[in-house]
A = this chain, B = another copy of it.
Amino acid sequence: MFQADVQYMKAALVEAQKAFLIDEVPIGAVVVHNGDIIGRGHNLREHLNDGVAHAEIMAIEEACGALNSWRLVDCDLYVTIEPCLMCSGAIINSRIDNVCFGARDPKAGAVKSLYTVLEDSRLNHRVNVIEGLLSDQCSQIMKAFFRAARQKRKNISGNSK
């Protein structure tokens, strides 16, 4: 039985913080294998000009490199915000066993909010899901980011008057 470990979500939050500091939507993820973090990622969509460059994808690809395999058997993924459709699909395609996410994404979440694709028995892989670990910190950093972005826009429109 999967026991989510708070230390790994803290590592995912460190990744989210890295995104925050470079003005990316602050989501972070890590992939854990036998207790070791073998993949880390944070959202880099703007910096890489790449709509695929979500935190989970970056962490999964690093983990695939570490194991030299596309099958991330015996791996768990920790991510600060509920994965979207793309990242949920990548989790299934990579055969990740367990996913732990912090806070829900009611607008795009595909694990609990809009869809529950990780539990779909029609697909060739199913994933155990735990939600809510450090959810306050995971959502607070998102709120702080969007608050700052709104303030920035307000300042710009104020200056242009």
Contact = CB atoms under 8 A, between A and B. Distances in A.
B89 A64 contact: no
A44 B50 CA distance: 19
A18 B6 CA distance: 45
20 contacts: A48-B70, A49-B65, A49-B69, A50-B61, A51-B70, A51-B71, A51-B72, A52-B52, A52-B60, A54-B93, A85-B85, A85-B88, A85-B92, A85-B110, A86-B90, A87-B89, A89-B89, A89-B110, A107-B122, A114-B123
Interface in A22-66: 45-46, 48-54, 57, 60-61, 64-65
A51 B93 contact: yes
Contacts of A57: 52
Nearest to A87: B89
Contacts of A95: 51
A108 interface: yes
A145 to B, nearest CB: 17
A150 B13 CA distance: 45
Given A61-B50, A69-B49, A114 B110 contact: no
A23 B46 CA distance: 35
Contacts of A45: 70
